[in-house]
Amino acid sequence: MRRDTLLALSQRLFETGVYSEVFMISALSGDGVEDLKTRLALAMPEGRGSTPRTSPADVPLRVLAAEITREKVYLRVHEELPYSAAVETTAFEDRPDGSARIEQTIYVERESQRPIVLGKGGQTLKWIGQKAREELIEILDRPVHLFLTVKVDPKWQDSKALYAQFGLEFDV
């Protein structure tokens, strides 16, 4: 967007009285990002987090971990397995050494799909696990021990547990 057009638009929006601050940011150059980050940091209340690590607040990490692995499944086998798989994080444990132990189950609908996810000699599953682990290490900023299992469940789409992990209710 041209600078003069952007300035005129922001001026009109600012004059509505709805906005108290305006930040001009360029996705191309990154201009303005530091100003926004500084303002957001100043707006945050000081203090330590008050949620214990064992509280239900860790549920989003379980879901995030499952979604990362599911993405890797589809990146590797999308043509052979279009939308016929789900991933459930069955265990997420903070270990004393600071690492995380994550156990996940990859569900497929038919027995014929299981070898697709496993791959010859387990190579496909190994790739999925490696790529998911790499991303989880980056996001969690700590070592991750990831254990994957592939199970056949023709009715996984009807599983209340799979929907519950996202905070959704589903009546089968």
Under 8 Å CB-to-CB from 90, ≥6 apart: which residues? 103, 104, 105
Taking the model in full, what pTM does it have?
0.61
Q: b vs e for 99-131, b when ≥16 Cβ sit within 10 Å of the residue's Cβ?
A: ebebbbbbbbbeeebeebbbeeeeebbeebbeb
Give the least confident one: 81-85, 149-153, 162-166: 162-166
153 against 159, higher pLDDT? 153
Give the Cα separation of 30 and 26 in Å (integer).
5
Phi first, then psi, for residue 89 (nearest 5°) are -85, 110
pLDDT band, residue 51 (cuts 50/70/90): low
The CATH number, out of the four listed (3.40.1550.10, 3.30.230.70, 3.30.300.20, 1.20.120.450), of the domain defined by the range 57-166: 3.30.300.20
Residue 131 has pLDDT above 90, yes or no: yes
Q: From 94, 56, 93, 88, select the one nearest 73 (Cα to Cα).
A: 88
Predicted confidence at residue 54, as pLDDT, reads 47
Give the Cα separation of 31 and 41 in Å (integer).
17
Return the domain boundaries, the chain: 3-31, 57-166
What Rg do the C-alpha atoms of the chain give, in angstroms?
A: 22
